[in-house]
Structure 1
Amino acid sequence: MKILVLFYSTYGHIYEMAKAEAEGAQSVPGTEVILRRVPETLSPEILERMQATEAQKKFEHIPVADVQDLADADAIIFGTPTRFGNMSAQMKTFLDATGQLWARHSLVGKVGAVFTSTNTQHGGQESTILSFMITLLHHGMIIAGLPYTFDGQTTMDEIVGGSPYGASTIVRGDNSHMPSPIELDGARYQGRYVAQLTAKLRS
């Protein structure tokens, strides 16, 4: 059983969540997890102005995905930061190149899940995940969210990301806040949940 965790990250927050998703999926026996990132579309000059160059060195060792990687996987977990309540342009550009997969029905029946990040508590986490799911449904994928059996998303002790639609993290406006323990636990839970669903479908 092969699960692909495909992400785009600017400052490393989504990368940290992607690793947690991978850990959760890997905890299910018989699971092979592949971690991939989508190609960067911003120039080095713009990334430097955004003060993102140093942060991206942390995950530049992760191989860049090819569209075929999606077809080869039994399930796919997508991670993207929020851009005005939508997925990032980098992720959208990559998904726009999956037309041949759609034509061949390559992703029909595969489990798909989404996680995200925002700068603020109400920065569009839910709208990003829900709008992302439209693409997955067009590909015929089976949607997996983050069930309320993950108790962390109902905590009132602190402000955290996470919703029934998927795991998420709040990073603050200056990008200084890395995913909290609860948010990482949510990502691990979602990764494990996807792997468990995939195993049941394959059996």
Structure 2
Amino acid sequence: MSNGSINLAVIYYSVTGTNYQMAEWAAESGRQAGAEVRILKTPELATEDAIQANPIWRTHVAATTHIPEVTYKDLEWADAIVFSIPSRFGGMPGPVKQFLDSTGALWFNGKLVNKVVSGMTSAQNAHGGQEQTILSLYTSMYHWGAIVAAPGYSSPVTFEAGGNPYGTSVTVQSGKMVEDIQAAVEYQAKRTVNVAQWVKLGLAQE
């Protein structure tokens, strides 16, 4: 990590737009906390035919063409990373897993050590793998040597959003979020930036 303000990458994967909205909230909170922010999406693996066959997916893709895909240079640039990804059978979506699996060269060269990371997720129902999805993300982060900044129960907004200590999660039914999670997302992003500031300051004093 270099000297200066915190660089925050908000990396998301979204089909219906839920995790994109969460990423937008996280990014704005990061800016308010003083970070330089990039919103980035993971590269898509689905075929164009699959996307076009789903009206909601097709609409979301068209609405977010301005969002750049995350690159390895973005990971090197970032001091802190907030991931917003949906649950897929209790784990990460394939495009997210593929991207993380391809970061081996950065990992091998120590480029991912001490990144401060945090994860958020969504699922169709409250017990549809939300906690496990975030934990599966964190497993990869531990291999990076990253520092996980989970919200825990450090703020009342976590309880108000459903009480997931690993990261903000939301139930999505008929395309709408069931829980009111905006404050929890904003708090989690701010906390991630703050922890990154502490880590950066500590490293500068070594």
TM-score (normalizing by structure 1): 0.91
Deviation at 1:108, TM superposition (A): 0.6
User: Which residue of structure 2 aligns with residue 168 of structure 1?
Assistant: 169
- CA-based RMSD: 1.4
Provide the rounded CA distance (Å) in 2 between the counterparts of 1:48 and 1:185.
33
Percent of counterpart pairs with the same letter?
34
Where does 1:92-107 land on structure 2 (aligned, <5 Å)? 92-107=97-112
Deviation at 1:179, TM superposition (A): 6.8
Which amino acid in the other structure matches residue 172 of structure 2?
Answer: V
Q: 8 Å contact 1:6–1:37 — kept in the other structure?
A: yes
User: Residue 198 of structure 2 aligns to a residue in which SS?
Assistant: helix
Where does 1:1-203 land on structure 2 (aligned, <5 Å)? 1-29=6-34, 31-51=35-55, 52-155=57-160, 160-172=161-173, 174=174, 176-178=175-177, 180=179, 182-203=180-201
Deviation at 1:48, TM superposition (A): 2.3
Q: Which runs of 4 or more aligned residues in structure 1 lie more than 6 Å from their structure 2 counterparts after TM superposition?
A: none
Deviation at 1:162, TM superposition (A): 5.0
User: Residue 158 of structure 2 aligns to a residue in which SS?
Assistant: helix
Stretches of structure 2 that go unaligned for 5 or more consecutive residues are 1-5, 202-206
**Structure with more helix by fraction:** 2
Which amino acid in the other structure matches residue 133 of structure 1?
Answer: Y
Provide the rounded CA distance (Å) in 2 between the counterparts of 1:193 and 1:43.
37
Which amino acid in the other structure matches residue 106 of structure 2?
Answer: L
User: Residue 181 of structure 2 aligns to a residue in which SS?
Assistant: helix
Which amino acid in the other structure matches residue 176 of structure 2?
Answer: H
Aligned length: 195
Which amino acid in the other structure matches residue 192 of structure 1?
Answer: K
Stretches of structure 1 that go unaligned for 5 or more consecutive residues are none
TM-score (normalizing by structure 2): 0.90
User: Residue 5 of structure 1 aligns to a residue in which SS?
Assistant: strand
Which amino acid in the other structure matches residue 186 of structure 1?
Answer: A
